[in-house]
Amino acid sequence: MSGTGQSRRSLLTRALVLLGGAIGVGAATGGVAEALPGTKVKASGTTLTLGGRSWILQNPARKPGERIQPGDQATVAGELVDPRSGKRRGRFYGSRVAFDSGTGRHAQADASVELHTFRLDDGTILGMGSSLPGESLFSIVGGTGRYAGARGTYVATQRLRELGGDGTAHFVIDLSA
């Protein structure tokens, strides 16, 4: 039971319903965003590269330094920046449920199922997928503003301090036609 009087099952059910709705909205809309200044246009669409700094994992159920366990729920947040200039581009917000990836680390969660929001000055990009150690591939399920109807994929590398990283991230986002 959480502090709000809701069970973990209830919260997970709500998250799955919201996730299903996001997928439906992404499938129902079909446009592609225009390129932002500093993005590289490819034949298949637009590539946006973003860095992340001050990446933080927050899990009120765990003490600092305590291992993340399978089933733990947490949030991830940080600042999005241009990787070349360091100029601020927006904020990143994510939610995650941890699991053991089966890489031999028993009783320790080293991966997660995640929902992401890239809040940029001219709109948001919404993504989802499974985060594994190192690089992970995510799906773009929609967006707002300049990114309304966005779809595509992105590669994410998140180096959370709470999981032994340096608090940075890197994203290569491919918006496709």
- pLDDT-based confidence at residue 6 (cuts at 50, 70, 90): low
User: Residue 68 is part of a domain; what is its CATH number?
Assistant: 2.40.480.10
Q: Is residue 1 part of a domain?
A: no
- pLDDT-based confidence at residue 76 (cuts at 50, 70, 90): very high
**Domain total in the chain:** 1
Kindly report, residue by residue over 16-65, the tens digit of the pLDDT: 444 444 444 343 333 333 444 444 434 457 899 999 999 988 888 877 76
Contact (CB, 8 A) for 150 and 143: yes
Euclidean distance between CA atoms 99 and 75, whole angstroms: 15
Supply the pLDDT for residue 91: 98
Euclidean distance between CA atoms 37 and 48, whole angstroms: 10
Q: Is residue 102 part of a domain?
A: yes
Residue position matching structure tokens 């927006």: 90
Contact (CB, 8 A) for 95 and 81: no
- pLDDT-based confidence at residue 66 (cuts at 50, 70, 90): confident
Contact (CB, 8 A) for 55 and 168: yes
Supply the pLDDT for residue 23: 41
Q: Could you write out the DSSP letters of every residue in 53-66?
A: EEEEEE-TTS-TTP
Q: Which of 172, 169, 141 is nearest to 154 (CA)?
A: 172
Q: What does the DSSP 8-state code read for residue 32?
A: -
Q: Could you write out the DSSP letters of every residue in 84-127?
A: TT--EEEEEEEEEEEE--SSS-TT---EEEEEEEEEETTEEEEE
Query: Against a cut of 0.85, is the pTM above it?
Result: no
Q: Is residue 2 part of a domain?
A: no
Q: Is residue 158 part of a domain?
A: yes
Range from 1-10, 28-37, 117-126, 144-153 carrying the lowest mean pLDDT: 28-37
Structural domain range at position 110: 8-176
In this structure, which amino acid lies at residue 21? G
- pLDDT-based confidence at residue 132 (cuts at 50, 70, 90): confident
- pLDDT-based confidence at residue 99 (cuts at 50, 70, 90): confident
Q: Has residue 94 got a pLDDT over 60? A: yes
Sort 103 into a burial class: Cβ within 10 Å, 0-12 / 13-18 / 19+: exposed
Query: In this structure, what token pair is assigned to residue 81?
Result: 């920046």
Q: Has residue 112 got a pLDDT over 60? A: yes
Work out the average pLDDT over 158-166: 84
Q: Is residue 56 part of a domain?
A: yes
Work out the average pLDDT over 116-137: 93
- At 50 the three-state DSSP class reads strand
Q: Is residue 129 part of a domain?
A: yes
Supply the pLDDT for residue 164: 80
